[in-house]
Chains A and B, each alone.
Chain A
Amino acid sequence: MIALPLVAVVAVVAALRATFERNTARKLPYVNVLNFAIAASIVLLLDHPLSLVAAAAYFVGSTLEANAIASTYAGARNQ
């Protein structure tokens, strides 16, 4: 099963790119890829029906965080 290692590699690449990107707003698409990869890994790792709920909860929570960071960044820059 190559799906899980592939998703893990994508997560590491996205994390590295987010770390080394200097512009705050442009970090967020990389973090978005990282969140996709983590949500996918949760379902691929945990063999349980509730893993779907865990992945959705993680994904929605992390998207809301990205939304908040982006909006704060936009507000701070407009001042």
Chain B
Amino acid sequence: MLGELLYILAAAIITWLLFVSVDIFFRLPEKGGVSGASAVARDIQAAGGDIAGGNMMGNIVCSPDASAGTLLAACGVYVAGIPGGLIAAALVFIGNRICHDPGYAGTTGALLATFVVYGFTQVGFTATNFIAGTVIAILSIQGISHVHASRLLARLWRVRQ
């Protein structure tokens, strides 16, 4: 059981790095994609956070981003291997269009995560490790401290710039 917990923590770190890199590459911290995302960012800033990190967190709330892509890709690999991950990427693409998101962070994240998750299942990990790992990773950004998470994301965004 402890071994499985360590695998889940390792999977959380891998997925965190994956989706934060993809989201920052696709410029999610630059601005809110919809007015609701900007409202979330403004309220996080008002609470002492950073607007760039807040923008990214608002965008994650308002449309399936790379973190959602990673979760659904892990679910897809768990259900049906690589084809399952590719189906998940197609579902994320549809989800992005439904949520008025002009970007491709979610779809790209799902495609990359499919191969990353599948690769790690070949070296001892299971897809369930990545499903739980992604939930832990998103908890660390959206569910612990909005102020600190937004500042960390803003710092990474400035490195990207």
Contacts and interface: CB of A to CB of B under 8 A. Distances in A.
Contacts of A7: 131-132, 135
Interface string A1-30: 111101100100110010000010110111
Interface residues of A, number: 46
A67 B87 contact: no
A3 B62 CA distance: 26
Main secondary structure of the interface of A (DSSP, over half): helix
Contacts of A29: 40, 57, 60-61, 141-143, 146
Interface string A48-79: 01011101100110011011111111110100
Interface stretch (B21-29, B76-84, B111-119): B76-84
Contacts of B64: 59-60, 63
B138 A74 contact: no
B40 to A, nearest CB: 5
B11 to A, nearest CB: 10
A23 B5 contact: no
A60 B99 contact: yes
Contacts of B1: 2
A49 B84 CA distance: 9
A74 B36 contact: yes
Interface string B127-157: 0110110111011011100100000000000
A1 B34 contact: no
Contact of B39 (A51, A56, A70): A70
B66 interface: no
Contacts of B94: 60
The 9 closest A-B pairs by CB, nearest first: A70-B36, A74-B39, A60-B95, A71-B36, A29-B142, A56-B91, A3-B132, A25-B43, A33-B143
13 contacts: A1-B4, A3-B128, A29-B61, A32-B61, A32-B142, A33-B142, A36-B135, A43-B131, A52-B84, A59-B68, A63-B62, A73-B36, A74-B36
Interface of A: 1-4, 6-7, 10, 13-14, 17, 23, 25-26, 28-33, 36-37, 39-40, 43-44, 49, 51-53, 55-56, 59-60, 63-64, 66-75, 77
